[in-house]
Amino acid sequence: MGEFKVHRVRFFDYMPTAIRAMAFNSRTERLALARADGALEIFNFADNYFQEKVIPGQDGRAVEALCWVGQRLFSAGLNGEITEYDLENLRPRYTVEAYGGPIWTISINSQGTLLAVGCEDGTVKMFEILEERIQFQRNLDRQKGRIISLSWHPSGTLIAAGMMDMIRIFDAETGRATHRLLVERGVGASKSREVVVWSIVFLSDHTIVSGDSAGKVQIWDGVTGTLVRTHLVTKWDVLALSVSKDESSLVAGTSEGTVVQFQFISSTVDQQDKEWVRTRTFKNHSHDVRALAHTETAVVSGGMDTQLVVRPLLDKVEKNTQESALRKMSLPHRSLVCCAKKAGLLLFQFPDHLELWRLGESDGHGKPGDSLPVKRKPEKLIQLKRKGEDHICCSALSPCGGWLAYSTVTSFRLYRLQNNNISVTKVSKLPKDLRSAHQLCFSPDSSKLFASSSHSSVIVVGLNQPECKYLHTLKPKSGSRQPVHLLFASEDGKWLATANADCEIHVYNLDKLKLHCTVPVYSSCPTAIAINPTTSNLVAVHADQQIFEFSLVQKEYTEWSRKLQKQGLHSLWLERDTPITRVAFNPKNPAHIILHDMFMFCIIDQSLPLPEAKTPFYNQMTLRSLPEPQRLVHSHAFKICKNFQHLMCVSLLEDHSLVVVERPLLNITSQLPAPVRQKKFAT
């Protein structure tokens, strides 16, 4: 496998923010979630839960609710605005002021024609959905007190609104309130304490289900306006409700971090009268569950503890399969760390600033597993604050450590660095085409900057000492409108590889500045790409964990890649639930491919045989104890190291030492606010 001196980095204080809202699109199998800093993330559940797109946040954009209308995504928040997003350019398309104060909730009718929002001033406002925009249509009868939650009846004629101490049912055509359902405070609650109806669901049989701040899930008859059943599920708040598409199952998220499932089943043997029965309780969160989505096979939850949890329902999936495994998504599926190989520098990307660090040094030598004495400690050189209110969406550091670039959705900035006396000089004259970028990358000799722009195009900029000059725009022939999420420039400066959300990988010839070839499109999205400096073979790893090697010279898959696909990857490799986020190569040994996900890094030795289906996959420890002849018999191509956990970056420096950036989840949870106090046994 080879020995490396490892720089173990734990000073990247990456801190994700709380999940505030969620919306699942069952047609496209995409989940959109909003975080407390206004950022939006889109996960493709059909492609191994890959984080496909990220729309960066903005100061003051507090998203309270999300909804899909076909393939269009809308949000509303406490700034009183409704926003539609441009999912091709990863930015807000436009915002519409609702003029009702802060917006607490947003809901779409089942026909996809009307959008209703609940406002602070007690109005439910209707907006008509047009092809390009939304247009205000009318207000429903104004109420005293804010509208906290909304839910349309599937017919589109009625709409239920959760408020303080009550639920109102409106006729959507006349705008009049037809029923008032009073929500009781609960046993032992003070009369001055209001009950907030945090969430509401209107079912097709006119049943209304509500979740409130008194810890109750209540079932109401929407025709007569009477209470049918009360389930007390927590001493704290029920914050979110979600129902399955067939309306046979319902889940409620609480402040205690529990998710409670209810099912519409018969409680008697003869199966006559069905009712909502509490069936399961899941505890996968330490803090409030603020957002829920009920898919056909799983419950998806998120909240204050920042983790997205997919909990499969075992009556809907086959047991002991990959689909039945619990998934927790804690770290982003894209890199926030950039490593300058030649200079030994690290760039950390935060939403509001960038940090530049110099790695420490050690002149000691030791046995594998030893901790070496540090001669020079790591040092923070620069903290660069962004300008404007838009959060940073991408950043890059040149391999020589002399250039630094970052982009937001509205602006682009380039800086010249001098590390000897630590000075930062902003490059003021930038090409007009360089307004913003989805992804950035410098050429290995630091003479060019590549910035991915709209419609999968890439802008090439030449870097000279005083200024930078626009050279060319590289465009794919496919006409894809999707954003590029991966860029890689080859070590010899000849090739540039790009990957977009349409699963396309394009390779450009930088000498001729034109498209060289397109890799055959595979059904799963690429999560990491790299070009071998010795063989000029492109290695691509996809969200479903498949690995391909494509020869740029021959314009075909290599023999090794065909052999790998024919034999198939080991089941333990395919069952991993975090994507490979970086691929690198060892110049000392061209047959070694270095790659990592969140829980391990791996060296694939192409000169060794591939693991058979029945071979022990994680066999590094076993091999060490065997004598040399037996070791050769049992060894295979995949060498896996699990000594480091929660990896954000594994990179190889020019001096052949490894940089491993870790972000232990314990460090994230220790910075969270205290959860609600829960009674523990024997305390």
Same fold? 19-241, 337-671? yes
pLDDT value for 207: 92
β-pair partners for 648: none
60 neighbors 66 (Cβ within 8 angstroms): no
* Residue 151 dihedral angles phi and psi, to the nearest 5°: -155, 130
pLDDT value for 658: 87
Q: Distance (Å, rounded) from C-alpha 564 to C-alpha 579?
A: 19
pLDDT value for 677: 63
56 neighbors 40 (Cβ within 8 angstroms): no
pLDDT value for 630: 72
pLDDT value for 168: 93
Q: What is the DSSP string of 70-104?
A: TTEEEEEETTSEEEEEETTTTEEEEEEE-SSSSEE
Helix (H) or strand (E) holding 108: strand 103-108
Q: Give the tens place of pLDDT for each residue, 250-286.
A: 999 999 989 999 988 877 666 667 888 899 899 988 8
Q: Which residues contact 337 (CB under 8 A, 6 or more apart)?
A: 12, 346, 347, 348, 349, 648, 649, 651, 661
Helix (H) or strand (E) holding 416: strand 412-418
Domains in the chain: boundaries:
19-241, 242-314, 337-671
pLDDT value for 634: 72
Q: Give the tens place of pLDDT for each residue, 654-674.
A: 888 889 999 988 888 888 888
Fold of the domain built from segment(s) 337-671: Methylamine Dehydrogenase; Chain H (2.130.10)
Q: Could you tell me where the DSSP H helices lie in 484-613?
A: 559-567, 571-574
Tell me which residue of 75, 544, 45, 677 sits closest to 310, measured CA to CA: 45
User: Residue 125 burial by CB count (10 A; 0-12/13-18/19+): exposed, middle or buried?
Assistant: buried
pLDDT value for 366: 60
pLDDT value for 191: 65
- The stretches in the chain having pLDDT less than 70 are 1-2, 186-192, 268-272, 320, 364-376, 420-421, 465-466, 618-619, 621-622, 677-683
The CATH number assigned to the domain with range 19-241 reads 2.130.10.10
β-pair partners for 353: 385
Q: Which residues contact 423 (CB under 8 A, 6 or more apart)?
A: 417
For the record, the structure tokens of 644 come out as: 């480091």
Confidence (pTM): 0.93
480 neighbors 86 (Cβ within 8 angstroms): no
Q: Distance (Å, rounded) from C-alpha 506 to C-alpha 485?
A: 12
